[in-house]
Amino acid sequence: MSVNTLDVTSGKKNIKRRRRVLVAKLGLDGHDRGAKVVARALRDAGFEVIYLGVHQAPEDVVEAAIEEDVGVVGVSVLSGSHTELVSDLLKLMREKGLNVPVIVGGIIPPDDAEELKKMGVFEVLGPGTPLRRVIEVYEKALEVNN
């Protein structure tokens, strides 16, 4: 459940939404080093990270995102089946009424990245993206979701 906390500093009120995100590996790809690095960087930046691990089906990701009440879904795909898997994920999210930003990571050709964005993906991040940039993208995605 999302929790708002009230931080009163110097007489000013600042409401902070809990930064809870889900990170998962979609499909049969078992290479999870990048997803683990992203999950740890987000955790170290103050996010609450739900890490599902490898071999996740779109149905599993959507179910966990709903149960965990996350503000962003991040998925990594290295297998080349990113278009089909992300399309299925977005379709299931719409069907279940889950309206949170989706961030896709992995080896995604530029044309496919644009196609994913047209389908509704918030951002596509490839190998070598600086972790500072990854954190900024997740923060912006949470702002959109507030």
**Pairing mode, strands 102-106 and 72-77:** parallel
* CA–CA separation, 39 and 135 (whole Å): 10
Strand pairing partners for 7? 14
Mean pLDDT of 32-50: 96
Would you kindly state where each structural domain of the chain is located, as residue ranges? 18-145
**Apex 15 CA angle, 48 and 17, nearest 5:** 25
More confident residue, 27 or 145: 27
pLDDT band at 18 (very low <50, low <70, confident <90, very high): low
Record the tokens describing residue 95, joined without a space: 């069907």
User: What rounded mean pLDDT belongs to the chain?
Assistant: 88
pLDDT of 81: 87
Instruction: Write down the pTM of the prediction.
Output: 0.86
- What percentage of residues in the chain have a pLDDT greater than 90? 77
Q: Tell me which of 6-10, 29-33, 65-69 is least confident.
A: 6-10
Q: Tell me which of 14-18, 96-100, 105-109 is least confident.
A: 14-18
Does CATH place domain 18-145 in 3.40.50.280? yes
Query: What is the gyration radius of the CA atoms in the chain, in angstroms?
Result: 15
pLDDT of 19: 87
CB 22 within 8 A of CB 48: no
Q: Which of the 8 DSSP states describes residue 107?
A: S
